[in-house]
Structure 1
Amino acid sequence: MHVGLIGHGYASATFHIPLINKAVGLQLQAIYSSKAVNHSHAAVVSDVNEVISRKDIDVIVVVTPNMTHYELAKKAIAAGKHVVVEKPFTVTSAQADELIDLARQKGVLLTVFQNRRWDNDFLTVQELLRTEVLGKISMYEAHYDRFRPNVRQRWREQNIPGSGILYDLGAHLIDQALTLFQMPKTIWADVQAERTGAEAVDYFHLVLGYDDKKVILHAGSIVREPGPKVMVHGTRGSFIKYGLDSQEDQLKKGMSPGDPGWGEDEPGQYGLLTADIGGMTFRGTVETLPGRYEVFYEQLSHALTAGSAVPVLPEESRNTIRIIEYAMQSQREQKTIQIS
């Protein structure tokens, strides 16, 4: 399957191109870029319509600023292409629903690059929940804190649709939470621009309410010394882990899936598990499962050739956008929102 990539910024160079090149059954054929770039294995063009209209391209990957996702994905689907959209899927859930309906009408596959479903810490938490070693979960808390006190001149930090960290980091944290626990019953949100001169959201604190648990998702831009990345508490024990997944840094250094150490965590960042097991209390570290970003394009290739499910259902990413919309409503109205 031949792939056309729309956009050649950080996400394309760091994630998509290396992972597409590694996936069996996918070949990068053309790249649209507004800047002059060189690529040894694909044609680089300056007209986005050329990539979409090329008959030798089966799959379009949209990796452009968030407010352009909807129009570019819609154009590619209308041209009969299978489409991958970088997260966040769209700016509004109505746009997402329209793309889902159009893809169904055209008989093409549509998916969203929610790569952090394959973070090493998230895979480890999933396994702990699967084995029920923590018992019935009462609290899940995930953070994405950074120390970036100065506002930068880039679209992500401008006052435009789809900008700010709620659509950026929030799209990751919300997708992970919905993957674990499905849609919540309620949401309360504190969404702010906390830095001097900030035009876009650079801080959020979301509380998702379920019948039997609370989920807290948090991100800030003025956190010099971050706390735990994830904390999970249940009736039998707790799991607390510091540190970020290693794959992004590894890709930036030129590593690829399958290389020695790929996706592995530093032992000093292994999570701490305290749990009652078999009548005894266990307290110790749990080796982090290796991260596996390559799974996304592996599963996409299999979906294209064998008819299996896409790696991320577009309806799931639509629900992430719905949660973002509910969060902004909660902030506006200063109250807890009931989710229908």
Structure 2
Amino acid sequence: MQKIKTALLSYGMSGKVFHAPFINFHAGFELLGSWERSKQLIHHDFPEVKSYATIKELLDDEVDLVIVNTPVETHYDYAKLVLLAGKHAIVEKAFTTTVAQAQELAAIAKEKGVKLAVFQNRRWDSDFKTVQKIIGEKLLGEIVEAEFHFDRYNPLLSPKQHKETVNSGAGILKDLGPHLIDQALCLFGLPQSVFADIRITREHSLVDDYIDILLYYSSFRVRLKAGFFVREAIPAYVIHGKKGSFLKPRGDVQEDELKAGKKPGAANWGTEPIEKSGLLHTESNGETVQEISTTLQGNYYDFFDGVYHSIANNAIEPVTAQDGVQVMQIIEAAIQSSAQKKVVDL
């Protein structure tokens, strides 16, 4: 099996929790190290890898794939350096801060003949995979409306400065928004138009922390919501069709398991507790069906396996640069819509 030598551009929470465990676990990758500006934290978990002092040192090494997991406002600059150096790249969400930046990165990757994937890991959440299956099997009939939530109760400001200071990558729209938007586009494609309400609700906050985005499709609507003042969460996924409905709470356990130090690969990896199951209420063969729906197993490993095959076997990336461009199109339209208080056509 071809070994793809991989390096990270930071080893904070995302590197430690979402990337390094899977790169280390997958037989097709070799973790070379991480660029670390001050503390050499990666050595605590992987003593044998390198801690690069500069991005130049990292790019000058025999690296095949670079994971750009730095703050959002830096994604474009760092990803461009990586691609121009002839390296494959995974870029965290939000992909960039503008559509133009996203399109430029996609063009550079094509010109250089390298792979460029966007890390939209929530496509491999157990809850979303289950929703995707319910819709794909047309168990609800023709879709009338869908509502996706990524809600939290957290009125305090983040201690991470880049998340709370005014910059092109800060705010919930470019933090949780890309997850919701990507899932909607994955299921339904690009909408015809967008209406959005983007607000600040926390005391002393300088960046947006509430979004309500309405996507207009020809025969149905999709609403995407996220905020920090939801102490009692409603279902994260509510889908209504002409035959029935499906309600599903957010239940994926992978992030919590990774934060607790658990490693991917266990037989029950990504298995939700039964109480997080969804409710399916629909018609089948002329009979009304109301039942608890079995939740599929989540597994972020599948994203990294897709990246491996895209590089080793020239397959398409599991989340393409064009997917990233389309998410940014929705984000830009949402910003314009909220500012002008009007529907924006795509």
Structure-1 separation of matches of 2:259 and 2:157:
23
Task: Tell me the equivalent position of 1:4.
Answer: 7
1:17 and 2:17 correspond: no
1:90 and 2:93 correspond: no
> Helix, strand or coil: the match of 1:265?
coil
TM-superposition CA deviations, 1:298-319 (whole Å, max 9, x none): 1111111111111111101111
> Helix, strand or coil: the match of 2:306?
helix
Structure-1 separation of matches of 2:318 and 2:14:
18
Task: Tell me the equivalent position of 1:80.
Answer: 86
CA contact (8 A) 1:5 1:60 kept: yes
TM, length-normalised to structure 1: 0.97
Displacement, 1:260?
3.3
1:29 and 2:2 correspond: no
When structure 1 is superposed on structure 2, of 31-40 and 17-26 the one drifting more is 31-40
Displacement, 1:255?
2.1
Task: Tell me the equivalent position of 1:271.
Answer: 278
When structure 1 is superposed on structure 2, of 82-91 and 44-53 the one drifting more is 44-53
Task: Tell me the equivalent position of 2:180.
Answer: 173
Displacement, 1:191?
0.1
When structure 1 is superposed on structure 2, of 291-300 and 254-263 the one drifting more is 254-263
Please list every run of 5 or more consecutive structure 2 residues that lacks an aligned counterpart in the other structure.
none
Structure-2 separation of matches of 1:28 and 1:245:
26
Structure-1 separation of matches of 2:308 and 2:79:
19
Structure 2 counterpart of 1:66, one-letter code: V
2:252 to 245, 253, 256: 245
Alignment of 1:1-340 (within 5 A): 1-36=4-39, 37=41, 38=43, 39-54=46-61, 56-154=62-160, 155-339=162-346
Structure-2 separation of matches of 1:297 and 1:35:
28
Structure-2 separation of matches of 1:297 and 1:99:
20
Structure-1 separation of matches of 2:136 and 2:191:
20
When structure 1 is superposed on structure 2, of 58-67 and 145-154 the one drifting more is 145-154
Structure-1 separation of matches of 2:159 and 2:293:
41
CA contact (8 A) 1:24 1:298 kept: no
Structure 2 counterpart of 1:81, one-letter code: K
Structure-2 separation of matches of 1:192 and 1:312:
29
Structure-2 separation of matches of 1:93 and 1:19:
29
CA contact (8 A) 2:127 2:249 kept: no
Displacement, 1:324?
0.5
> Helix, strand or coil: the match of 1:144?
strand
Structure 1 counterpart of 2:19, one-letter code: H
Distance 1:139 1:41, change over 3 A: farther
> Helix, strand or coil: the match of 2:235?
coil
Structure 1 counterpart of 2:273, one-letter code: E
Structure-1 separation of matches of 2:22 and 2:302:
9
Displacement, 1:253?
1.7
CA contact (8 A) 1:166 1:201 kept: yes
Structure 1 counterpart of 2:28, one-letter code: G
TM-superposition CA deviations, 1:196-238 (whole Å, max 9, x none): 1111110000000000110000001111111111111101110
When structure 1 is superposed on structure 2, of 145-154 and 159-168 the one drifting more is 145-154
Displacement, 1:72?
0.5
Structure 1 counterpart of 2:324, one-letter code: S
Structure-1 separation of matches of 2:134 and 2:221:
18
CA contact (8 A) 1:93 1:318 kept: yes
> Helix, strand or coil: the match of 1:248?
helix
CA contact (8 A) 1:120 1:289 kept: yes
Displacement, 1:157?
1.8
CA contact (8 A) 1:264 1:289 kept: yes
Structure 2 counterpart of 1:130, one-letter code: G
TM-superposition CA deviations, 1:163-206 (whole Å, max 9, x none): 11110100000000000001101111000111111111100000
Structure-1 separation of matches of 2:342 and 2:140:
32
Displacement, 1:250?
1.0
Please list every run of 5 or more consecutive structure 1 residues that lacks an aligned counterpart in the other structure.
none
TM, length-normalised to structure 2: 0.96
> Helix, strand or coil: the match of 1:316?
helix
Structure 1 counterpart of 2:71, one-letter code: P
Structure 2 counterpart of 1:27, one-letter code: E
Structure-1 separation of matches of 2:338 and 2:313:
44
Structure-1 separation of matches of 2:96 and 2:303:
19
Displacement, 1:24?
2.2
> Helix, strand or coil: the match of 2:297?
coil
Structure-2 separation of matches of 1:153 and 1:290:
33
Structure-2 separation of matches of 1:228 and 1:211:
25
| Aligned-CA RMSD value | 1.0
